[in-house]
Structure 1
Amino acid sequence: MGGVIKITRTDMSAKDLRRAAKRTKDGRVVRRLLAIALVLDGVDRETAARSSGMDRQTLRDWAHRFNAEGIEGLSDRNGKGAKPRLSPKQQAQFVAWVEAGPDPVKDGVVRWRCVDLQARVEEEFDVKLHVRTIGKYLTKHGFRRLSVRPEHPKTDREAQQTFKKNFTSLVNDTLPEHAKGKPLEVWFQDEARVGQQGTLTRKWAKRGTRPRAPRDIRFKWSYIFGAACPARGTAAGLVLPYVNAEAMGLHLDEIAKAVAPGSHALLIVDGAGWHGAKCLQVPDKITLVKLPPYSPELNPMENVWAYLRANKLAITVFDTYDEILDKCAQAWNFFANDPERISSITDREWARVT
């Protein structure tokens, strides 16, 4: 027969402890509360411990914790774990390496692998880590293995940041006199080629398999001319057989019809030749704003094309040119008839003007 444990706290009765146990989600704390409640009822230590699934010594230890700290003392206290092998300063340097990427000449690789970072850490910090630990550091700092998007070698990221930062002043400098004082709408414009040499996309499949999908190798195609105004959730598009100044003029006329009455549109375009051709007739309701060279990242229409290719235009074989036209029209209307989708994909904070 075990001895009786002395509970020195008087602020909670056995009834109070059982009431607290009903509100507690942690089963381990519930058992400890009920065991101490039995002790308060006068039950001996062995019986109270056995009925709550613990030994006498364990119950004694929890009783001491309860006497000192109350119910809060009955929760487990997980240790902080082993001290990180890399200091905060070293981890910051590790993050900088990953974000900058390797130097192909110096590091001998074009992308970081965990084993490469393991060697770099050992060389720079004289700390030998397991490859799995390198993976844990990558996960801890928010890194994932992601597909990269192509970037033109002449891309000027500083020019892109300047364009976004000074967009409002650029608009004021570009705006013609007849448009000043009118409500302004920001539109984005681009073209996408769609044809028999189509695109593939990701699909659900069993791990370890390589799913197949049809892909044509013929050469018929057409072009979707698309433009969107994120603020109004509206879009204007045409499907045309070619890209040149004449086709661009047709698209500008279509966009002008979609501009709100009494408003003026700022149409953001890239540097394609037909966007600035001398023969191009730009409607009075539209002012063209050129993006910095090689800056597809700044044009959300690129995201529209990626969305449509992934969901409507991929994994498709077109037997005739008419099928291409029909599929392009269906895909564009799927996008253009959904204002929420238009705004969600094309809205950019830096391009908002008042």
Structure 2
Amino acid sequence: MKVKGHLPLEELKRLERAERNADQARRLRIVILAIEGWTAPAIAMAVGLSRRICQRWLRRYNESGLEGLDDKRGLQPRRPLTPAQEAEVRRRIEAGPTPEDKVCSLRGKDFQRILADEFGVQRSLASIYHLLHRLGYSYLRPRPRHRKANQEAIDKFKAEWPQKIKAIAEEHPGKQLRVYFQDESRFGQQGTNTNVWAKKGSRPTAVRQTEYEYLWVLGAVCPETGHAEGLLSPQLNTKIINTFLDQFSQTIPNGEHAVMVWDGAGFHTSKALVIPENITLVQLPAYSPELNPIENLWHYLKSHFWSNRSYADYEELETAAMEAWQEAVLDHQLIQTVCAAPYTNRATSD
């Protein structure tokens, strides 16, 4: 067995005598015996290890000298990418698929190819998923975004929000502001499906109704307090909105003023709209539902209560809507979580 002359034989023996770690001393003994001309099977028998392990330690010594005999188990594993490469991978993930990728969504196999082709890193599929999770990414379903959404207008709305709230507060001295987010959702026999637990490899089925009866659920929620008010209606127009605003205004305590944030739908901007004195309306930028957290409530109600079911008529729809509202929307802590609006920071003004 060939041994590179990193250290003299006498120095290796001295290190072996001084070594307190029995495993490290045994590795030094492997190198010493190899220098003295012992064969691999003889060394293995002498130190009580397999021939292959003895050859492995000797190879490490030949490659790295004394450092090659260190036990690296339990140390932080070397990452496959440098920090600069990780930053580039992050940019690649967030940029999404390119025309060259020929897919609409990058999956594990795609990232496996990207790392091999663009970074020269070969990794198993399991390692790819581990890397993605370590970088802080999960495979999530994106929120729908309208193609006409104006990001500049959205950013401007967020930036101007504190001053807008301050101005409304100055117009209503002595009142505590409560910010509510308002929206309407259609719920009916045009059903939706949501996830269910099923055996791996199976394709479960669920009812998806395709009939035409429906109703409208109108709601307003305060993310800070979790307070919510709602109204069910078979139709939606300015008259119904006025009814909702009137009923909602009666729930506002005397010492408070409501700031109602909603979109620019026609029945929200009609000249026939009647705005109660204790409500100030704030219109969102066009095509920006992501700024209205009550959208999350509609998703929650559909995924937890209204999906995978069929409804015989309007009465059944109405009953299902009221039961879901009572079960979920009257839970203030749940509403605070589901309808959180981080971009507003806080939803009141003293």
Whether TM-score is above 0.5 comes out as yes
Tell me, yes or no, if the aligned pair for 2:169 and 2:177 is still in contact at 8 Å. Answer: no
Identify the residue that residue 187 of structure 1 maps to in structure 2: 180
Within 2, Cα distance between the matches of 1:267 and 1:216?
34
One-letter amino acid matched to 1:326: T
Match of 2:321 in 1: 328
Instruction: Show the counterpart of 2:159.
Output: 165
For 1:155, the equivalent position in structure 2 comes to: 149
Q: Which amino acid aligns with 2:146?
A: H
Identity %: 36
Residue 343 of structure 1: which of 320, 323, 336 is its match? 336
Aligned residues: 285
Contact 1:245 1:277 in 2 (8 A): yes
1:285 corresponds, among 253, 258, 278, to: 278
Q: Is 2:87 the counterpart of 1:92?
A: yes
| 1:328–1:85 distance in 2 versus 1, CA, 3 Å | closer
Cα distance change, pair 216–83 in 1 and its aligned pair in 2 (3 A): closer
Identify the residue that residue 317 of structure 1 maps to in structure 2.
310
Q: Could you say which residue in structure 1 is the equivalent of 2:265? A: 272
* Aligned residue number for residue 24 of structure 2: none
The residue type paired with residue 235 of structure 2 is Y
User: Do residues 101 (structure 1) and 96 (structure 2) align?
Assistant: yes
State which of 130, 135, 140 in structure 1 corresponds to 2:134: 140
Dislocated runs of 4+, deviation >6 Å: 55-58
Q: TM-score, normalised by structure 1?
A: 0.73
For residues 336 and 77 of structure 2, the distance between their equivalents in structure 1, rounded to whole angstroms, comes to 48
Unpaired runs of at least 5, structure 2: 1-16, 21-45, 50-70
**Partner of 1:218: helix, strand, or coil?**
strand
C-alpha distance in 1, partners of 2:109/2:309?
40
Give deviations 1:225-250, integer Å, cap 9, x for gaps: 01112333211110001111111111
Quote how far apart the aligned CAs of 1:145 are: 2.0
The change in CA–CA distance for 1:350 and 1:206 in structure 2 (over 3 A counts) is same
Whether the 8 Å contact between 2:132 and 2:138 is mirrored in structure 1 is yes
Q: What one-letter code is carried by the residue in structure 2 that aligns with 1:222?
A: L
Shift of 1:186: 0.5
Alignment of 1:112 onto 2:126: no
Distance 1:267 1:84, change over 3 A: same
CA RMSD of aligned residues (A): 2.8
- 149-158 vs 261-270, which moves further: 149-158
CA deviation profile, 1:310-343 (whole Å, cap 9, x unmatched): 1111122111111111111221222332121122
Aligned to 2:292: 299
Change in Cα spacing, 1:119 to 1:267, as seen in structure 2 (3 Å) is same
- The correspondence of residues 221-232 of structure 1 with structure 2, limited to 5 A, is 221-232=214-225
Note the C-alpha offset of 1:281: 0.4
CA–CA separation in structure 2 for the residues paired with 1:318 and 1:95: 45
Q: Normalising by structure 2, what TM-score? A: 0.73
Task: Please report how far the alpha carbon of residue 85 of structure 1 lies from its aligned counterpart in structure 2 after TM superposition.
Answer: 3.7
Q: What is the CA–CA distance in structure 2 between the aligned matches of 1:293 and 1:80, rounded to whole Å?
A: 53
Specify the alignment match of 1:33 in structure 2. Answer: none
Q: C-alpha distance in 1, partners of 2:244/2:140?
A: 36
SS in 2 for 1:258: coil
Unaligned runs of 5+ in 1: 1-5, 10-54, 59-75
